[in-house]
A and B are shown apart, each in its own frame.
Chain A
């Protein structure tokens, strides 16, 4: 009986530590969830149209994927983005983050282009406005341009099926 309290404290601490170990300390929750997509005005890679802004993201759900040809996580998620671009109901917009066009073009040719539209954010200013602190990061926008979800790190089938699809279903 005299061990009851220390035992309870021990179990509580173990629980706390397990909880702590499972959460990612580097994950920064985005304050943009539930808000309208930040304003931007960026050149497109193919020049048609020459520039795009946040208004051009409205009309249908969109995945806005900040990526770069120099980023390893982007290579990791690339095959899955290709798969998504083939068979999903959402549009993919890539924002090429602090990347040289001369590096990006061969990267796309070699690996394939999953994006409906690619915007270039050479200086990372749009990245700052979107609260991007690494690549890849993917934002899910509904048809009105409201941010529903942010994925930090590579997109995976699990995240798509368990987090994003239910959100898209709920809004459509």
Chain B
């Protein structure tokens, strides 16, 4: 992380990448920006000159031991959960600090013996269906789920209607300009 070395305001003991995180966060009005590597580099170049005194306190998460089965549940769950901050990343991928906090929460719930449904409920109770990459089928999401199928159906109906309409209709032979043709033939040596 070459840019950290140049950033003077990284407090001791808060780990690499911390100062950049902070600049990214302060650069936006509200949502802390994602800490994807390319974004980090770009933002670092842009924001190298911005100095701010205060920084988010990153929570230190002690390790939570899991059994093999629990570990599998945890690893399986994370890619299905959406990071609220970097909305195109799952909780498994995101480097946002909220994602780290939520991973820790999920890990804690898994360790307590909760199953997939309970953990998903824990998250949707707080953040809504938004945290699920696969939202449940209900009235509000009906169009979302049925939409693609409906579009295919509509396409099929249009295709059938079109082929029915055009089938059996004889296409008129191309009209030739007989006089012109004759002239060409006559002129030929």
Interface string of B9-53 (1 = CB under 8 A from A): 000000000000010011111111000000000000000000011
A26 at interface, CB cutoff 8 A: yes
Interface contact B22-A70, CB-CB below 8 Å: yes
Chain B residues with CB under 8 Å of A21's CB are: none
Q: Which residue of A lies closest to B98 (CB)?
A: A133
Given contacts A26-B87, A153-B30, contact A71 B25 (CB under 8 A): yes
What's the dominant secondary structure at chain B's contact region?
loop
Interface string of A58-75 (1 = CB under 8 A from B): 000000000011111100
Q: In the complex, what's the smallest C-beta–C-beta distance from B126 to chain A, in angstroms?
A: 4
Query: Which of B55-63, B71-79, B161-169 is near enough to bind chain A?
Result: B55-63
Q: In the complex, what's the smallest C-beta–C-beta distance from A29 to chain B, in angstroms?
A: 6
Interface contact B126-A131, CB-CB below 8 Å: yes
Interface string of B116-132 (1 = CB under 8 A from A): 00000000111110100
Interface size on A, residues (CB 8 A): 34
Query: Which of A12-20, A95-103, A139-147 is near enough to bind chain B?
Result: A95-103
Given contacts A28-B84, A124-B101, contact A100 B26 (CB under 8 A): no
Interface contact A25-B29, CB-CB below 8 Å: no
Q: Which residue of A lies closest to B55 (CB)?
A: A70
Interface contact B127-A76, CB-CB below 8 Å: no
Contact residue among B30, B54, B87 (Cβ-Cβ distance under 8 Å from A99):
B54
Chain A residues with CB under 8 Å of B55's CB are: 70, 100, 103
Q: In the complex, what's the smallest C-beta–C-beta distance from A104 to chain B, in angstroms?
A: 8
Interface string of A89-112 (1 = CB under 8 A from B): 000000000111001000100000
Give chain B's interface residues, CB within 8 Å of chain A. 22, 25-32, 52-59, 84-85, 87, 97-98, 101-102, 105, 124-128, 130
